[in-house]
Amino acid sequence: MRRTAYLTIFVTLIWILFLAFGAGPVPALGPLFEVRGGIWQHESSPLTSRDLPGLRKPVLVTIDASGVPHLFAESAGDLFRAQGFVTASQRLFQLDVNTRQTAGNLSAIFGPKALYYDEFFTRFGLRKSAVDAWTKYSQDPSVKEMVESYVGGINSWIDQMPELAPEYKIFGVRPEKFDPVKVVNMGRALTWSLSGRSFDLQLTGYLRRLGAGKTLDLFPEYLPDKYEDYVFPDRLGRPHEKENAAQFAFVSGLTDIPKFPLANPGRGSNNWVVGPAKSTTGRSILANDTHLSITLPSTWYENQLSCPEFNVYGVSLAAIPGVVAGFNKDVAWGPTNGTTDVLDFFEVEFENESSTRYKSGDGWEQALVRKEQIAVKGSGTVTLDIVETKLGPVLHREGKLGLVADWTGYRPGNELRAILKHASVKTARECMAEFSDWLSPIQNFLCADKDNIGFVHAGFVPKRASGAGRFITDGRADAARLTTPVDQVPQSFNPKAGYLLSANQKIVPADYPDYLGWDYEPPFRAMTIRRALNGKPKLSPEDMIALQNENLDLQAEMLLPALLRHLDDDGPWVKRLRDWDYKIRAAQAEGAVFKTWWQFVKEDLFADELQREVGDESKTLLPKDARVAWLFDRLHANPQDTDVHWVDNVHTPDHKETLNEIVTGAFAKALRRMNETQGQDESRWSWKMFNQTRFMHAGRLPGFGSPVLDMDGSSETVRGQSGGHGAVYKAVIATGDWPEAWMQVPGGNEGDPFAKDFGRFVNDWAAGKMRKVEFYRNREEALQKAVRVIHLQPGSGP
Amino acid sequence: MIFFGMALMLPVVWFLPWWCFVLFSVLAGALSGGVPRATWSFAFGAALIWPALAFIKDGRSAGVISQKLSALLSLPSPGLIFVVVFILAFVTAFLSFQTGATLRSARFHQPV
């Protein structure tokens, strides 16, 4: 009897502890399901008129029919405080997660499963770089006021919020107070996601196996012009040294480098602008769609910010004050990712296997060693020893050798000042000039006023020693660090063509005096835009919107005829592909069959030499599409061209493969793959199921995102859409005496997953619809059109 | 006992933190004397209240909360989240009530 009693009490205690604290991935279910204050307790639209501590004068916030807030303040400081407050009221959890990523602080919310990322970002030095950046940013009083006011607004919301956001309840954590470094962390997070990509490590593996000649043949810096498109097409006639095998005599001895979570910026951002002579309005028109991971809530927060110094409309990054892309009365501006190579790796040599002294020139130098801590939910704290050389932090060691990263993102410019100043620029020239302090992430910014258009490749472009930047470089020489900028960043103003465009493609032709990079996105989107801009003497805003929705896939147009030429098959799919107009439509399967086929062709051509595991895209890379297109053209023109050796499979010495065999075999594999992934009923195959466009929740909560959407377009169409990447901001801005603009931010502004407006505009976005935005001249106009009005008053709180 | 459980837990679940559900179940168990049938009846009544009140609050958000929570837990239907809450509440009430009864029993059987 007594034993049963003890057992009952014991089991009850265990159960209560489980309810109170959760276990493993199961959250604390007691507080979560509590009716009074748990997940069931939910206030929609919690922002109401109230006191906002720190305000000097009242701030008016009107909400328009699209849920966009328009903020009117009597000083910039009050405006940014209100912006922080309003943004946090809708997006606090997202702000929190975004700013934790690069701080190496995700494990505090998500537990041990996030430790891999936290360890990497901490070793990589992003946490430290944010502290360094704030030290620099805060020297500018206007930037300091902007950030501190914004942070004050966020913290006021944390103090006043009537209840926790649902995500906090689910993860069983509470928000931490913000500080300026957290804001900078968000900037670092974006910088990392846009310019933290590098294939130097994989290319070094190829260099070791194939030698420099073959590696450069497959992965050249430049291809013939037919296969390229350049943002900055002007010919300077001052080419830098052409790559040659002799430059790459050094081959790193590091052979067991682990897989790092390097960034994958995806592809798809576009911007273009037509000047007055090419515009039906007689004034410049700018189009911009920025592509990032498609998440709910959206990366961007749409708002109008108005104070005596400026009146600006556009999108802000949740956790960063100001407007990053948008327009004011006089000027419109918008970015695409610059994609220039700004991340290099070095091999350093330590004195011995446990030493932190490394070779530098003729001597040995002591690395800095510091300790960093990572809090892990439910598992205490992990302490890391961070070893930092003059070249950068050590990411990996093999005996006496170490791998060091150097990244331009470590060097703060004054990006926040540029964001602040853009709000009040009056000409395209001024807009371009404000990017002089912008170091990272490297971006292609277009600026337009009524009469002028301009482009600047904004960011720190390092000047490298000959041959540096492509592979792991010898770090013993102490000469290669990314500290000196190139003499002149590419920029253009009112070009003869009457338009400017960028689509993450190559920036400059081969006769540019410096190496900028080789790993740009394929030229297909840029070529499609250029074709459209050249095809019409004048374009209207409606033409620009239509071009943003263009689903012609130039990759298919360029490559499919070449594939069909070498295909020994006459089945029904061959006819369908021959009749296809190269447009990617959600309900059709031609695009899916072509893309699958093309992937198998590339794998079957090169997997033998590159020792690539077929289907494993995470470990290695294949040559760019344009390079393979060149191979097909060369072999078509001359079957004995030197490229023919890539066709032969090195693992079958008794048989010499032909291009027809490769192409035909890959076609059969592609149809089999489609069969496996989409079923045997070919009438049900679709691009939609192949591409799987769906929005994930920012905290990766299952069921909080969107279903798979009916969405036209591929990563090679102007309407760029690739699985979890897409146009998270689309805008067409017609400059004029008073600008007109059309935008779409899929998901809208609402960040509360239980609110009715969460995920707003996703279906409109998928259908290619744009929304005319309301840009008010003054608060009276805003009040007339408001669906909700909020008065924020100076005071000490509710 | 079913109605007692429901009547007792209605204000507790609506107005108080979740652990009060445990506390009041223990107290109810201690007062009841631990008749086995009473335990089942009380736990059933108390457990009905929790999902019922959750359902009312869910209605204010047009069912979005139950829909998303069900998706989060990979449940095939949004309504099943209330079954999950019922089971949690039932186990909690049952164990807590039993514990109360056991404590009372131990108190009255102590040697003097």
Which of the four pLDDT bands, split at 50, 70 and 90, describes residue A355?
very high
Tokens of A446: 């277009």
pLDDT exceeds cutoff 90 at A240: no
Nearest CB to A754; choose among B16, B65, B96: B65
Is residue A368 within 8 Å of residue A489, measured between CB atoms?
A: no
| Rounded Cα–Cα distance for residues A154 and A143 (Å) | 17
Tokens of A476: 């013993």
Nearest CB to B16; choose among A12, A36, A756: A36
| CA neighbours closer than 13 Å in the CB half-sphere of residue A212 | 15
| Rounded Cα–Cα distance for residues A280 and A683 (Å) | 43
Q: Do B61 and A42 touch (CB under 8 A)?
A: yes
Tokens of A189: 């997070």
Contacts of residue B105 in chain A, CB cutoff 8 Å? 5
pLDDT exceeds cutoff 60 at A252: yes
* SS3 at position A268: coil
Lowest mean pLDDT among A227-236, A258-267, A342-351, A406-415: A258-267
pLDDT of A266: 66
Top-confidence residue, A238 or A308: A308
Q: Do A44 and B68 touch (CB under 8 A)?
A: no
| Rounded Cα–Cα distance for residues A544 and A546 (Å) | 5
pLDDT of A684: 94
Lowest mean pLDDT among A281-295, A552-566, A725-739, B4-18: B4-18
**Average pLDDT, whole number, for chain A?**
92
Q: Which of A221-225, A568-572, A580-584, A603-607 has the highest mean pLDDT?
A: A580-584
| Rounded Cα–Cα distance for residues A535 and A524 (Å) | 16
Residue A64 CB burial class (10 angstroms; 0-12, 13-18, ≥19)? middle
Read off the amino acid at residue B108.
F
Give the A:B interface size as CB pairs under 8 Å.
89
Q: Do B92 and A16 touch (CB under 8 A)?
A: yes
ipTM: 0.92
pLDDT exceeds cutoff 90 at A309: yes
| Rounded Cα–Cα distance for residues A734 and A737 (Å) | 10
pLDDT of A620: 62
Q: Domain spans of chain B?
A: 2-108
Q: Do A35 and B65 touch (CB under 8 A)?
A: no
Q: What percent of chain A has pLDDT over 90?
A: 73
- Mutate which: A16, A29, A35, A41, vs B, most B CBs within 10 A: A35
Is residue A555 within 8 Å of residue A522, measured between CB atoms?
A: yes
| CA neighbours closer than 13 Å in the CB half-sphere of residue A392 | 30
Is residue A51 within 8 Å of residue A61, measured between CB atoms?
A: no
Which of the four pLDDT bands, split at 50, 70 and 90, describes residue A211?
very high
Is residue A431 within 8 Å of residue A450, measured between CB atoms?
A: no
Q: Which residues contact A732 (CB under 8 A, 6 or more apart)?
A: A285, A286, A287, A541, A544, A545, A548, A741, A742, A743, A770
The DSSP string of chain B is: -HHHHHHHHHHHHHHS-HHHHHHHHHHHHHHH---HHHHHHHHHHHHHHHHHHHHHHHHHTTTHHHHHHHHHTT-SSTTHHHHHHHHHHHHHHHHHHHHHHHHHHHHHTS--
Q: Which residues contact A95 (CB under 8 A, 6 or more apart)?
A: A87, A88, A154, A178, A186, A318, A319
Which of the four pLDDT bands, split at 50, 70 and 90, describes residue A617?
very low
Tokens of B79: 């309504």
What ranges in A49-176 are assigned the alpha helix state H?
A: 76-101, 107-110, 115-124, 126-137, 141-160, 166-171
pLDDT of A767: 94
The DSSP string of A27-40 is: --HHHHH-TTTSTT
- Give the CATH number of domain A554-691; options: 3.90.1150, 1.20.1440, 3.90.550, 1.10.1400: 1.10.1400
pLDDT of A27: 81
- Tens digit of each residue's pLDDT (9 = 90 or more) over A637-693: 999 999 999 999 988 989 999 999 999 999 999 999 999 999 999 999 999 999 999
Residue among A559, A572, A502, A524 nearest A722 (CA): A524
| Rounded Cα–Cα distance for residues A195 and A461 (Å) | 12
| Rounded Cα–Cα distance for residues A342 and A555 (Å) | 27
Lowest mean pLDDT among A109-118, A305-314, A685-694: A109-118
Q: Which residues contact A531 (CB under 8 A, 6 or more apart)?
A: none
Within 11-70 of A, beta carbons closer than 8 Å to B belong to: 11-12, 15-16, 19-20, 29-31, 33-42, 44
Q: Do B62 and A756 touch (CB under 8 A)?
A: yes
- Output the CA angle A219-A221-A225, nearest 5 degrees: 110
Residue A86 backbone phi and psi in degrees, to 5 = -65, -45
Lowest mean pLDDT among A93-97, A164-168, A243-247: A243-247
Local structure of residue A350 (DSSP, 8 states)? B
pLDDT of A615: 45
Q: Which residue of B has its CA nearest to A34?
A: B18
| Rounded Cα–Cα distance for residues A532 and A274 (Å) | 12
- Tens digit of each residue's pLDDT (9 = 90 or more) over B10-49: 888 899 999 999 999 999 988 887 677 788 888 899 899 9
Residue among A180, A170, A176 nearest A150 (CA): A180
Tokens of B26: 């223990």
Interface check A699 vs B, CB under 8 A: no
Contacts of residue A12 in chain B, CB cutoff 8 Å? 95-96, 98-99
Q: Which residues contact A723 (CB under 8 A, 6 or more apart)?
A: A691, A692, A693, A694
Tokens of A429: 């020239």
| Rounded Cα–Cα distance for residues A473 and A348 (Å) | 9
Interface check A7 vs B, CB under 8 A: no
pLDDT of A99: 84
Q: Is the dihedral of CA A476, A479, A484, A487 positive or negative?
A: negative
Mean pLDDT on A692-700: 91
Which of the four pLDDT bands, split at 50, 70 and 90, describes residue A361?
confident
| Rounded Cα–Cα distance for residues B99 and B102 (Å) | 5
Q: Do A702 and B64 touch (CB under 8 A)?
A: no
User: What angle, rounded to 10 degrees, do the helices at B18-32 and B2-15 form?
Assistant: 150
Residue A737 falls in which region: left (phi positive, over 0), alpha (psi -120 to 50) or beta: alpha
Is residue A310 within 8 Å of residue A739, measured between CB atoms?
A: no
pLDDT of A797: 58
Which of the four pLDDT bands, split at 50, 70 and 90, describes residue A450?
very high
Q: Which residue of B has its CA nearest to A701?
A: B72
Top-confidence residue, A512 or A324: A324
pLDDT exceeds cutoff 60 at A476: yes
pLDDT exceeds cutoff 90 at A616: no
Lowest mean pLDDT among A49-63, A73-87, A123-137, A579-593: A123-137
Residues of B with CB under 8 A from a CB of A: 13-19, 22, 50, 53-54, 57-58, 60-62, 64-65, 68-72, 74, 85, 88, 91-92, 95-96, 98-99, 102-103, 105-106
Mean pLDDT on A262-277: 87
Contacts of residue B15 in chain A, CB cutoff 8 Å? 36
Q: Which residue of A has its CA nearest to B84?
A: A33
| Rounded Cα–Cα distance for residues A394 and A106 (Å) | 22
User: What angle, rounded to 10 degrees, do the helices at A180-195 and A126-137 form?
Assistant: 120
Q: What percent of chain A has pLDDT over 70?
A: 98
Lowest mean pLDDT among A258-267, A301-310, A378-387, A396-405: A258-267
The DSSP string of A431-495 is: HHHGGGG--SS-EEEEEE-SS-EEEEEES--B---TTTTSS-EE-TT----TTSBPS---EEES-
Top-confidence residue, A287 or A4: A287
Contacts of residue B62 in chain A, CB cutoff 8 Å? 756
Which of the four pLDDT bands, split at 50, 70 and 90, describes residue A20?
very high
Lowest mean pLDDT among A459-468, A472-481, A530-539, A693-702: A472-481
